Amino acid sequence: MAALDFTNPLFVSYAFYAAVLVFKSAILSLLTSVARLRTGSFNNPEDVVFALKKGQGKHDSSTESVARVRRAHLNDLENIPYFLILAPLYILTNPSASIAFWHFRLFAIGRIGASICHLVPFPPPSRTIFFALASLVGASVITQIIMHTFMNYSVL
């Protein structure tokens, strides 16, 4: 069984959660556009012509509903790429399947929860808890990759 193909249950799990997270990020991009159209708040002056309420469009990206969705999307763009890169490397370390499955699940839960907390103003420390969850999972994966590499290969 090859480590990075669909015969490996760990890779299947990674592929599923990677697709879910990328899909979620794409939805946030779409929601940013919807919020801009709904509020008539556009980032570029030439886009003001797309305002749904004619004459009410403005070159202003600071509308709270637009800014809230943008923050969620930007947060995804800052965090999800690490998962997309590190998880396949983690799979190559041949980790315990149950631990790896939980790493992937908890990272996805952390990222989805953080996005929901961006979109719906939950009180602190809600978003921080979800961010910390995903960050701790990432730190665990990074640590295991480094330890595996250090202990098994002379790369230094």
Phi, psi of 54 (to 5 degrees): -55, 135
Domains and CATH numbers, the chain: 9-34+70-152 (1.20.120.550)
Span of 40-44, 60-64, 118-122 with lowest mean pLDDT: 60-64
Residue of 12, 105, 139, 153 whose CA lies nearest to 3: 12
pLDDT averaged over every residue in the chain:
89
Q: Is the pTM of this model over 0.75?
A: yes
58-59 and 41-42 strand pairing: parallel
Average pLDDT over residues 35-62: 68
pLDDT level of residue 36 (50, 70, 90 thresholds): confident
CA distance 147 to 130: 26
CA distance 140 to 77: 20
CA distance 128 to 67: 18
**58 sits in which H/E element:** strand 58-59
Which pLDDT does position 126 carry in this prediction? Answer: 95
pLDDT level of residue 60 (50, 70, 90 thresholds): low
Which pLDDT does position 56 carry in this prediction? Answer: 60
CA distance 139 to 32: 30
Q: What is the pLDDT of residues 3-15, one digit of tens each?
A: 999 999 999 999 9
Q: Which residue has the higher pLDDT, 121 or 107?
A: 107
